[in-house]
Every structure is written in structure tokens, then in C-alpha cells.
Structure 1
Amino acid sequence: MSVVEQRYRAVLAVLAGATVTEVAASLGVSRQTVSGWKSRYQASGLAGLADRSRRPASCPHQASAEVEAAVCELRRKHPGWGPRRIAFV
């Protein structure tokens, strides 16, 4: 049985009248996890029960593409320069 199927059965059990606590105890997960599955199922259906990426949407301190290209070019031209010299230039 796939992970989505297991989560779907847990949600169906809660919707059928079983308490979240009972379902969580039978699966060995927390009540918050089962409640989250239920909310995701109600919002998105079966697709909401699939695993989601934990990767952040953005990186606020990432350098722009232009700066990255300039640094790479400096590294190619001057392989002996370290990060302090490149930052200075």
C-alpha cells in the first residue's frame, strides 16, 4: 500500500467518525499529522496527500546572475585569487 493510500484511509476513518486521536495512535503518528492530512485532503483531494518538497521557495541572500557570472569569470582568469581578493575586485 502506498503512502498516499495509507493517508487516504486515515482521513476516511476520521471522516467516518473515528477520533483523530484513535487514528493517530493506530498509525503511530501525531494528532497534528492526521489533522494536517485531513486539511490537505479537503483542500486538494488525493493530490494533497502526496509528499511535498521541503525545499525553500527562494534564497534571499543569493547573488544575482550577473554577479555570479562575474565571480566565475574572475575565478577562471585568476585561479590563485581567494575570496577576499575577488570580493575586493
Structure 2
Amino acid sequence: MTAAGGRGVLVGVSDNRLTPLVLSQAERSTLENWAKRRSTAQGLAMRARIVLECAEGRSILAVAARLGVARNTVSRWRSRFLARRLDGLSDEPRPGVPRSISDAQVEQVVVRTLEEVPEGSTHWSKRELAKQVGISPTSVQRIWKAFGLQPWRSEDFKISTDPL
């Protein structure tokens, strides 16, 4: 056991003043899966590791040093877990203006781009599609970019019959 930051606090020794963090078998299994699975968001995986380390009886300082995060981070996720269990580890809504385009509108833009062609044209323009769906042309452009859509490009290749 070593001193952390020269303050005389021993790393690895639990703090008796903290509320014990006890996990059920189902919670432990879920947290271990979140921490190990590659498809888990990295933020959620780190939160799962923090809770698992705290459940081992380690102090906030010990967990922070072991995982390379700030003490405040360990303290925050430990207290959220104690208050709301597994639900407390998920991301909360961020501040700011909520989305103005629904998932249904995004789906409508993608489906129309891929499956329909406007009358009298070979492909959708962002202005035409925006008018049909009821969103701005900039939003259509962002959706196309997010999904890698380029309706002005043809999927077929034809060899020219031009003799030159």
C-alpha cells in the first residue's frame, strides 16, 4: 500500500465513512458485461468499471488511481449508482435546444432518397426533397451526409459508344 499524492492517505484501504456498495448477482453480471463488451459505449463501460471497483470495497481515491480518472468522477458515479442503481449509469439528456427533426422525418428522407424518384427528374435535389418532407434543405443535406447518400450519382456504369 502506497501513499496517494503524499497526503498520507493509503491507496487500497476502504473508507469506513462511505455507504457500502453491495451488488446483486444480476447487477454484477450486467456491469461486467458492460465493462467487457466491445459494443458498449466507452463512457458506460468506464462507469461500470468504477462501480465494480467500488463494490470491491476500495476507496474513491484507490478507484480513481486504479482507473486513471478524477476522484469527482468516481464519487459522482458511485453516488448515482447508489441512488438509482443501473439506471443511474445511463447518460442523462444534455442541455441545449432539443432536436427539431423527428426520427420519422429522417427515415422519410432516407426512404424517399433511396426508393423514389421525383416526377420529371432523375434524382432528388435537396430543395425538392426538403419541400416534400417539410424540413430545411440544410437538414436534408446533413441527413444525406450522415447516411452517406449521394442521389446525384448513378449506380450503373456504361461504356461509351463514342468512336473517339
5+ residue gaps, structure 1: 57-89
Distance 1:5 1:46, change over 3 A: farther
Structure number with higher helix proportion:
1
TM normalised by structure 1 equals 0.52
1:29 aligns with 2:77: no
Alpha-carbon deviation of 1:12?
2.2
1:44 match:
84
Larger Rg: 2
Moved over 4 A (4+): none
What code does the residue aligned with 1:6 have?
M
TM normalised by structure 2 equals 0.31
- Coordinate RMSD, CA, aligned: 2.1
Alpha-carbon deviation of 1:29?
1.3
The 10-residue stretch of structure 1 (42-51 or 9-18) with the greater mean CA deviation from structure 2: 9-18
Please tell me whether the aligned partners of residues 24 and 30 of structure 1 are also in contact (alpha carbons under 8 angstroms).
yes
How many residues align? The count is 57
Distance, in Å, in 2 between the alignment partners of 1:9 and 1:26 is 10
Please tell me whether the aligned partners of residues 14 and 20 of structure 1 are also in contact (alpha carbons under 8 angstroms).
yes
Larger relative contact order (Cα-Cα within 8 Å, sequence gap ≥ 6): 1
2:52 match:
12
Alpha-carbon deviation of 1:16?
1.7
Identity of aligned residues (%): 43
5+ residue gaps, structure 2: 1-36, 97-164
Q: Please give the residue correspondences for 1:66-81 in structure 2 after superposition, counting only pairs within 5 Å.
A: none
1:73 match:
none
